[in-house]
Amino acid sequence: MKLEVLYEDNHLIAVFKPANLLVQGDITGDVSLMDEVKTYIKEKYQKPGNIFLGLLHRLDRPVQGIVLFAKTSKGASRLSEQFRDHTIQKFYTAVVAGELPRTATLINWILKDENKNKVEVFDRETRGALRAELSFETIATNKKYSLVRVALKTGRPHQIRAQFSHIGHPLVGDTKYGGQKNSELLLAATQLIFTGATDNAQHEIKIDAPESFLKFVK
């Protein structure tokens, strides 16, 4: 694959993850985004031996969009702290079934079943479940489908997919959570705002919503 680099400095690199590519290698042995980024760094900077690459966050395998990695231990430490403290702003674009209000906030509790790799959503605090919060804005709708911009407040497993399904508006292509079949899951990480590892300046990485998403609300 041809790696699409969206941002790079001495400590960080952000790239575009295509749908259905693993962020990190697993038992399948399939090629991962981390593998591709390490190869890019090795070749660009002619580095011998092992390449350091810090995993800062993940996207589910079917999800496409922006992924940020650390090229140094300093970058890993400082950005990991921002992810832990939820000071990084993460925005997603999705297409969901039905018509939604213009804006709303969803607060639930999520419990993951590791064996099934699926989560259950609760409306009130539940033992073992983690608090999950997001807000969204409806960008366009034709009543059958809605294009939404999602601001993720917490980073729980399958959070966006499960919370929208819970309110009766599953994502298109998300058959795991009740969505209609489609050639792809219509969820993309489209914007990331963070503080640089060393300059204390605010950085923004943003990509457009995929064209395949827009056709559903035309």
Question: How many angstroms separate the CA atoms of 49 and 9, rounded?
Answer: 21
Question: How many angstroms separate the CA atoms of 33 and 16, rounded?
Answer: 9
- Mean pLDDT (the chain, rounded): 95
Farthest-apart Cα atoms in the chain, separation: 55
- For the record, the structure tokens of 113 come out as 């079943």
The SS3 of residue 92 is: strand
Distances (CA, A) of 111 to 34, 49, 165: 28, 41, 15
CATH ID of 5-217, from 1.20.272.10, 3.30.2350.10, 2.30.110.10, 3.40.710.10: 3.30.2350.10
**What are the residue numbers of the active site?**
60
Q: The tokens 């760094």 sit on which residue?
A: 41
Residue 152: per-residue pLDDT = 95
| Contact yes or no for 192/13 (Cβ under 8 A) | no
Question: How many angstroms separate the CA atoms of 164 and 154, rounded?
Answer: 15
| Contact yes or no for 93/150 (Cβ under 8 A) | yes
**Banded model confidence at residue 48, pLDDT cuts 50, 70, 90:** confident
pLDDT tens, residue by residue, 148-186: 999 999 989 999 999 999 999 999 999 999 999 999 999
Say whether pLDDT at 27 is over 80: no
